[in-house]
Structure 1
């Protein structure tokens, strides 16, 4: 599966509501991070719809490299800086 561009190098804390549906941006191009705003149109990457299992704080991935989308798994720690 193709990974999206890095939107940020650390996760973001969000408050989720149990049973509510959310659309996590997987492409990294949304201006409404960590949620989808439709910017993936024209790419091969689609947003991930998910329903919160419980209410409360959750850490959503912003580097778009997680193996456990939409949640952070620490993958941002392994991103190599690109040099010119």
Structure 2
């Protein structure tokens, strides 16, 4: 099984390299494997989901943060510079916390209120569930 965003990325850029990532919501088709493939492109022009649910993060007042907008960072939800090689056209979003608070930062990279979660991940989850269910009947 390939996730929807990965498939779209692969179709847009004709990329075929596949990596394995732990499941984020749906179990794999066979329960013997604890991983399912996620399509990753060598370079992408569209963000890829890092996870299906947002990250709960404690922010410190006055501290600057760099939110990963491409989805390739290994230090999600924050940028580790991976975009320079994997998605050079997608820059991280720099922001400063105005006060100490706990927030939900987007992980699906589909939010319209970057870097904060706006519930867009529910659409991503829905699409993945529909695809998964359709796959059961093939």
TM-score (norm 2): 0.56
Count of residues in correspondence between the two structures = 83
Alignment root-mean-square deviation, CA:
1.5
Deviation of 1:3 after TM superposition, in Å, equals: 4.4
Deviation of 1:68 (Å): 0.3
- Offset of residue 74 of structure 1: 0.2
Looking at structure 1, the residues matched to 107 and 53 of structure 2 have their Cα atoms a distance apart, in angstroms, of: 6
Q: CA deviation at 1:54?
A: 1.4
Q: So what's the TM-score if we normalise by structure 1?
A: 0.91
Consecutive unaligned residues in structure 1, runs of 5 or more = none
Which 4+ runs in 1 deviate beyond 4 A?
Answer: none
Deviations 1:35-82 (A, max 9, x none): 000010142100000001111201100000000000000000011225
Greater gyration radius: 2
Of structures 1 and 2, the one with the larger relative CO (CA 8 A, separation 6+) is 1
> Comparing both structures, which one devotes a greater share of its residues to helix?
2
- The aligned counterpart of 2:73 is 30
Q: How does 1:8-19 map to 2 (within 5 A)?
A: 8-19=51-62
